[in-house]
């Protein structure tokens, strides 16, 4: 998911755009959070059951999963206590171009299911837990639960018409929020000015957050936005295949040399390079119509999973019945196109103006469609974001009576939200809202040092790899 190897490429070629900061440094900031990503993380990570057991998701008395509610509640309380104002952005309809990617994910899912069955038969607990996690999916119910919870907590919720990352980036570009928070690197391709990663607080004390700055990244790579988008497509995104045999370093080199994908393709043709250009990239070629994705909510599953899987936490899950439930739900959703997720953007559209409606023209090369998705994604603009006081009784009813949470824990959570809200009525301003950031006196020194380091690394690299590099003559 996201952009393949972009993080690695940036850490090597543009280290200055990345920084680790303590959570504290975000005090007073408004942050757009990719809610779907967060929900997956919770569904996977918030589990109970110690070693030697099959880890179970948290459930209420009726057996409905509440892991995501628990996670969302405690993380949001934590944000508010730190003086951060979160806006949660939910996914809308996936773009048509993503259907290929979604299909792949579905296949992986089927595989995981098979492996789970096998693990169960073999009684391999560890494997069973692992596969269980791979099978997690967030349906409409999970999303609606979280929306309800967030509204009760007084946090604004934005329902994106399309991809949540694009909406986060748009909010950030408009200046409505300071940064977008998601693990998904393609948020950077959508040109979010600031991207925050690793906001999971797995380890309480050492909550360090990775900050990526778009402007610094393109500057360090010495690319324009158009070139950067093309680079991301060449690296491999969710919307189309990429050229076989081109890794991150080569992709960057080719884009720098040829400026865009069209020229790169021409060059490949002219030079007769043996690179595997996907059929879908060839212009005017009749491509097999990719089957329309019938499952709207089949989002990000396996990939998100994989990313989060290595992360933290004990716990397990139960699965089969739950899964069937979700599946049944998704089926009904498929039949009925007026579900909340798919209809809400339409409703919202009436209120706010939307931009960049992306139509997919199947006869053009697929990378052009991907490029358009990155540049003119359908997003909502002029959203009003209000942080209100939380609805204490409402939260108690929802969390204690419906979800079966311990009343005293909910009460202490509500107290914390109230406290945070109270101190936010006269919020602490930040220094940078008064004084402008300028170049540090040591900026040149550091830049020079970095360049020197980079050069010495490259030299070392070249020595190690005398021939066989892509630029070498055949």
Partner 1 sequence: MFEARLTNGSILKKLLEALKDLVTDANIDCSEEGLSIQAMDSSHVSLCAVALRSDGFDHFRCDRNISLGFNSQNLGKILKCADNTDMITLKAEDSADNLTLMFESKNQDRISDFELKLMDIDADHLGIPDTEYKTTIRMPSNEFKRIITDLQVLGDTCTIAVTKEGVRFSVTGDLGTGNVLVRSTNGVDKEEEEAVVIDMEEPVELTFALRYLNFFTKATNLGPSVVISMSPDVPVVVEYPIEQIGHIKYYLAPKIDDADE
Among the residues of 272-362, which ranges form H helices? 301-309, 320-335, 340-351
| Cβ contact 384:152 at 8 Å | no
Instruction: Report in angstroms how near the CB of residue 427 gets to partner 1 at its nearest.
Output: 6
If one asks whether residue 467 binds partner 1 (CB under 8 A), the answer comes out as no
Nearer residue to partner 1 within complex by CB, 327 or 453: 453
Q: Which of 275, 240, 42 is nearest to 138 (CA)?
A: 42
Of the candidates 284, 442, 467, 471, which one interacts with partner 1 according to CB under 8 A? 442
Is residue 211 within 8 A of residue 19, CB to CB? The reply is: yes
Cβ distance to partner 1 smaller for residue 350 or 437 = 437
Using CB under 8 A as the binding rule, whether residue 429 contacts partner 1 is answered as yes
Instruction: Tell me which of 175, 440, 473, 474 binds partner 1, using CB under 8 A.
Output: 440
Smallest distance from partner 1 to CB 450, Å: 9
The least distance separating partner 1 from the CB of residue 233, rounded to whole angstroms, comes to 31
Which residues face 181 on adjacent strands?
33, 196
Q: Phi and psi at residue 437, in whole multiples of 5°?
A: -75, 130
Site for partner 1 in 189-248 (CB under 8 A): none
For the bound state, the minimum distance from the C-beta of residue 155 to partner 1, rounded and expressed in Å, comes to 14
Using CB under 8 A, count the residues that bind partner 1.
32
Token pair, residue 139, equals 């349906």
* Least Cβ distance, residue 30 to partner 1 (angstroms): 10
Q: If binding is defined by CB under 8 A, does position 27 make contact with partner 1?
A: yes
Q: Are 150 and 88 in contact (CB under 8 A)?
A: yes
Residue range at the interface with partner 1 (CB under 8 A); choices 20-28, 45-53, 100-108, 461-469: 20-28
Pick the piece of the chain touching partner 1 (CB under 8 A) from 202-210, 229-237, 269-277, 433-441.
Answer: 433-441
Interface region with partner 1, contact rule CB under 8 A, candidates 49-57, 251-259, 397-405, 421-429:
421-429
Q: Which helix (H) or strand (E) holds 269?
A: helix 261-271
Tokens 């940036």 label which residue? Answer: 10
Residue 207 or 275: which CB sits closer to partner 1? 207
Q: Which two tokens stand for residue 66?
A: 């509440």
**CA distance readout (Å), 346 to 91, 156, 298, 350:** 13, 18, 20, 7
| CA–CA dist 280, 318 (Å, integer) | 41
Question: Which chain residues interact with partner 1 by CB under 8 A?
Answer: 16, 19, 22, 24-25, 27-28, 386-387, 424-443, 445-446, 449
């Amino acid at each position: 998911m996201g952009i393949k190897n972009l993080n690695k490429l940036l850490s090597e070629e543009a280290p200055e755009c990345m920084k680790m900061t303590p959570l504290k440094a975000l005090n007073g900031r408004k942050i757009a959070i990719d809610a779907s990503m967060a929900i997956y993380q919770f569904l996977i990570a918030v589990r109970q059951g110690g070693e030697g057991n099959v880890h179970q998701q948290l459930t209420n008395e009726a057996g409905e999963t509440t892991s995501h509610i628990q996670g969302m509640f405690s993380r949001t309380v934590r944000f508010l206590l730190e003086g951060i104002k979160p806006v949660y952005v939910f996914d809308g309809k996936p773009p048509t171009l993503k259907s290929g990617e979604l299909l792949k994910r579905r296949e992986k899912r089927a595989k995981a299911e098979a492996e789970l069955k096998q693990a169960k038969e073999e009684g391999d607990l560890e494997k069973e837990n692992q596969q269980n996690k791979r099978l997690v999916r967030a349906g409409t119910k999970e999303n609606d639960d979280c929306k309800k919870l967030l509204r009760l907590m007084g946090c604004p919720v934005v329902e994106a018409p399309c991809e949540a990352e694009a909406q986060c980036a748009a909010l950030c570009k408009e200046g409505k929020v300071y940064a977008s928070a998601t693990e998904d690197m393609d948020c950077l391709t959508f040109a979010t000015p600031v991207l925050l990663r690793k906001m999971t607080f797995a380890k309480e004390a050492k909550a360090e957050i990775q900050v990526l700055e778009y402007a610094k990244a393109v500057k360090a790579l010495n690319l324009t936005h158009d070139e950067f988008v093309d680079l991301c497509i060449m690296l491999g995104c969710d919307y189309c295949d990429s050229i076989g045999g081109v890794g991150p370093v080569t992709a960057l080199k080719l884009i720098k040399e040829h400026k865009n994908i069209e020229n790169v393709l021409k060059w490949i043709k002219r030079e007769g390079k043996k690179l595997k250009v996907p059929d879908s990239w060839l212009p005017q070629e009749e491509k097999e119509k990719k089957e329309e994705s019938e499952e709207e909510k089949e989002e990000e599953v396996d990939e998100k999973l994989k990313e989060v899987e290595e992360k933290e936490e004990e716990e397990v899950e139960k699965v089969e019945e739950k899964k069937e439930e979700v599946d049944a739900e998704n089926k009904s959703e498929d039949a009925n196109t007026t579900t909340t997720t798919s209809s809400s953007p339409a409703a919202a559209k009436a209120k706010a103006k939307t931009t960049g409606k992306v139509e997919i023209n199947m006869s053009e090369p697929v990378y052009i469609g991907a490029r358009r998705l990155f540049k003119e994604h359908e997003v909502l603009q002029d959203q009003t974001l209000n942080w209100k006081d939380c609805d204490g009784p409402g939260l108690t009813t929802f969390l204690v009576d419906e979800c079966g949470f311990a009343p005293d824990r909910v009460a202490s959570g509500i107290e914390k939200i109230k406290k945070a809200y109270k101190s936010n009525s006269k919020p602490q301003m930040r220094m940078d809202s008064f004084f402008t950031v300028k170049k540090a006196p040591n900026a040149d020194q550091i830049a020079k040092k970095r360049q020197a380091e980079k050069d010495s690394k490259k030299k070392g690299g070249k020595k190690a790899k005398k021939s066989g590099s892509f630029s070498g003559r055949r």
